[in-house]
Amino acid sequence: MEGDEFRRAAGEVADFIVDYLKGVKDRPVLPSVEPGYLHKLLPANAPQQPEAWQDIMTDIQDKILPGMTHWQHPHFHAYFPGGNSYPSMLGELLTAGLGSISFTWIASPVMTELETVMIDWVGRMMDLPKELLPYTEGGTGGGVIQGSSSECTLVCMFAARTKTITALKETHPGEDDCILLSKLVAYFSEEAHSSVEKAANISFVKRRILPTDDKFSLRGETLREAVEKDIASGMVPFFVCATMGTTGSAAVDNIEEIGQVCAEKDLWLHVDGAYAGNALICPEYRYLLKGFQNVMSFNYNPIKWMHVGLDCSVMWVRNKYYLVDALSINRIYYMEDEQEKHLLDYRNWTVPLSRRFRSLKLWCVIRTYGVEGLQEYIRSHVALAKMLESWVRADDRFEVVGTVEFGLVCFRLKGENNLTEFLLQRINQSGKAHMVPASLKGKYVIRFTPANWYYSEEFTKKTWDIITDFAEVVLRKHREATQRFQKLLAKYKDHARARHESASGGDVFEEEEDHSWNGVLRKLGYRTKLSDSCGAPARRQSSLEEVPEDSTLDDVQQNEAGSSSYRIKRALRSESSFRSLSLYGDESTRPVKQPSETLFS
């Protein structure tokens, strides 16, 4: 492709993007394709001859778009928002066009320089402690842009691990690194993102997953207890990850209390602010910085809540030397000779060597929106979340779980988890909106966050209408199924009672095997006593009146086909399982496979 052709094609791609975003609301949020769909559509082998750009664009329309989950759809409320904006796209295009790669300062000085300036800008926008900022005179702080939060947690854990092992080697000279490593323990809460546990796996350290309080927040005392217990048993606590905005419910760990424990016990405290960290650019959220004097490292993802497209995760450290100690490997071709220059080489702050010019799109976004524009975006999301929260609270079929402090609302239908599970399944299957669940202390909840691109009161209201319309269907089906279940249960009891009466004493259920007939009775809550304490067969207790009216029959064995009770039992079984409701169908649902039954964390 030559320059002029690129110019034309780039214009067409820009048109395509604008049109796509304008029309995205008319598409189902989730695609209706099956796994492997694209393999069937694309040729088995790469083309031998050049193809026209136009043909590629046609395939993008016909083959690529049908497989897209539309993250910029107004009713995409899953995960956290997938940040994007035109300035971010332009920054990406420029990055691609300039085509430089950075790893050492000299590999492309401006890439390092702009990154450091952006880290300083954002740190100031958030009013982070100056000890974390790169240009603080005499300081050891600094930052780097990683590809993801997962990498930020990982490299900070590496830094803490190296720091602790280095210190242990001084007190235990001659001890093998592997022995020392086997003593290290990392701590985080049950609500921490899966990436923290993954970092512990990769770092080969032990971990304690700690319980949270009733607000899903990790408290200092819980940490202290776990740390002291480990110290008493000869382990070496070294790292704590606190979350500012958990994935499940956007809860915030008590950084002040946790920080005190970390300071006392000399633990590295990392704060994962992937989503809620963005809110720090609004002064009203600065209370979240309480306890930051003890924070060793912090990161947040502008790609979640600051209009920046993937990938970009900004990270600050209190002491860059620890990070560089853990990650720096020199070779002659990197042309490093002076210690201070070595510190400027961001390859020593990250796992990959080669680095993208991520700071360029961040710069483009911050300049185009201004700090006030970005604050306005965050506040709009919070206002919409609070609006939805008020509607949920006003509807007595629903309840809100957790606190709505940012742009995330966790809600559920009151009652059994499977009601909410089924509601979410219905919503996602309809293609009208997309949300994902979380499990908060055993409660299954639906998570709602306003969409990134199209967020407004009107769209939020429409989503609420979608939710309540489906809730009505689900609750009606549930009522009908419950009534049918109760009827069938009564019929089943009559049937069993009749059999009992017609039997001539002794083993009334002899004709049917224990593992089937009694299995059913046990599922109904009916207890059978098969032997007395001497091992002799006992008379079966057979009062069916003991069977609770609201019993369920989820796992009844189906090995009695043809028997007189089988049909009733089978019917009971399908009625009792709320999943059976899906058999009733609904005109408004499309056969879309639910892509995510569990949360992405």
The footprint of ligand PLP (CB under 6 A) covers 79-80, 148-150, 193, 195, 243, 245-247, 272, 274-275, 301, 313
| Tokens at 509, concatenated | 């259920």
**Least distance to ligand PLP, CB of residue 356, Å:** 14
Share of the chain residues as helix, strand and coil, in percent rounded to the nearest 5? 50, 10, 40
**Least distance to ligand PLP, CB of residue 237, Å:** 22
In angstroms, the CA 537 to CA 523 distance is 21
162 or 601: whose CB is closer to ligand PLP?
A: 601
- Angle at the Cα of 476 from the Cα atoms of 475 and 477, rounded to 5 degrees: 90
148 or 417: whose CB is closer to ligand PLP?
A: 148
148 or 380: whose CB is closer to ligand PLP?
A: 148
247 or 429: whose CB is closer to ligand PLP?
A: 247
Q: Which amino acid is at 346?
A: Y
**Least distance to ligand PLP, CB of residue 328, Å:** 23
The CA distances from residue 137 to 128, 140, 341, 342, in Å, are 15, 9, 17, 18
410 or 524: whose CB is closer to ligand PLP?
A: 410
**Least distance to ligand PLP, CB of residue 221, Å:** 23
Taking Cα atoms as reference points, which of 463, 567, 476, 559 lies closest to residue 519? 559
Contacts of 75 (CB under 8 A, 6+ apart): 25, 29, 432, 433, 434, 451, 459, 462, 463, 466
**Least distance to ligand PLP, CB of residue 341, Å:** 30
- H or E segment at 201? helix 194-203
**Least distance to ligand PLP, CB of residue 153, Å:** 7
193 or 219: whose CB is closer to ligand PLP?
A: 193
Residue 53 · residue 9 · CB < 8 Å: yes
- H or E segment at 303? helix 302-305
Phi, psi of 144 (to 5 degrees): -155, 155
**Least distance to ligand PLP, CB of residue 193, Å:** 3
**Least distance to ligand PLP, CB of residue 433, Å:** 19
246 or 319: whose CB is closer to ligand PLP?
A: 246
Adjacent-strand bridge partners of 210: 189
Adjacent-strand bridge partners of 244: 252
272 or 512: whose CB is closer to ligand PLP?
A: 272
